[in-house]
Amino acid sequence: MSLTANAQRSKQLYNRIGIQGVCTLTSLHTDNFQTAQTAGFLAGLATRGAFYNNFDLIYGIDFLQTDLEIQGREEAIAYTLSGVQVKLLASYLIAGENLSVEFGPILQVNGGLKLDDQNQANAVVDGYTLLQAEDLEEISRVNGVLTAGITGGFNWLRLTAGYQYNFTNILNRLNKEDLNLKDPAATNFKGNLGLITAGIVFYL
């Protein structure tokens, strides 16, 4: 009786689609610019399925939109970054459906940096002589991300908190733009995004 009940419970709880909404605090970790932490969000769908013993698998797709802020010589320069994240995560069940830790890789495909105010296009970036805000728009479009976090709740609702780290160089494409011909200091761009996340998942 006990084995039968457990099998039924696993099937009911862990083979379902979730709708996710997550707030983010985004940091661009780089030595090339002065940056500030900004806000954003993730929203999408994910499927959680029983895998093996105390492990679930989670796979899904999220839409990402976040602000980025780089300091200009006279004022902060605001950008928007949009993209899609495809994730495949392992979830270790600490207390069944009530508490688990999740970790794994994410493939992020994003657009370039979009200036929030086109009037800032010619603003000079702090620390440079001729490098302008519009010169930073062409960042790398495909990026690898690692994430780890914790979720807790019920079979129909979970609260989530975690951290994402973009382990590839999201500024690498700038190194191919010959920006050093415009400003000799504009070389060796390297940056990694870090996202603190907190949100909610509703399971259908």
Contact 63, 40 (CB under 8 A): no
Q: How confident is the model at residue 160 (pLDDT cuts 50, 70, 90)?
A: very high
What secondary structure letter does DSSP report for 58?
Answer: E
What whole-number distance in Å separates Cα of residue 96 and Cα of residue 17? 18
Q: What does the mean pLDDT of the chain come to?
A: 91
CA triple 199-161-157, angle to 5 deg: 50
Residue 14 has pLDDT above 70, yes or no: no
From 6, 148, 152, select the one nearest 90 (Cα to Cα): 148
CA triple 30-169-114, angle to 5 deg: 75
pLDDT confidence of residue 51: 84
Exposed/middle/buried for 103, CB within 10 Å: 0-12, 13-18, 19+? middle
At 92-137, the pLDDT tens digits run 999 877 899 999 999 999 999 999 999 999 999 999 999 999 999 9
Strand partners, 193: 28
Average pLDDT over residues 34-51: 94
Could you identify the residue written with the tokens 């976090």?
A: 149
Question: How many Cβ atoms sit within 10 Å of the Cβ of residue 52?
Answer: 8
At 174-187, the pLDDT tens digits run 999 999 999 999 99
pLDDT confidence of residue 128: 97
**CATH number of the CATH domain containing 164:** 2.40.160.20
Q: What is the pTM of this model?
A: 0.88
Q: Could you tell me which residue, 140 or 15, shows the higher pLDDT?
A: 140
Domains identified in the chain, total number: 1
What whole-number distance in Å separates Cα of residue 155 and Cα of residue 172? 42
Q: Could you tell me which residue, 54 or 66, shows the higher pLDDT?
A: 66
> Which domain covers residue 30, as residue numbers?
2-203
Q: How confident is the model at residue 42 (pLDDT cuts 50, 70, 90)?
A: very high
Q: Could you tell me which residue, 9 or 193, shows the higher pLDDT?
A: 193
Exposed/middle/buried for 85, CB within 10 Å: 0-12, 13-18, 19+? buried
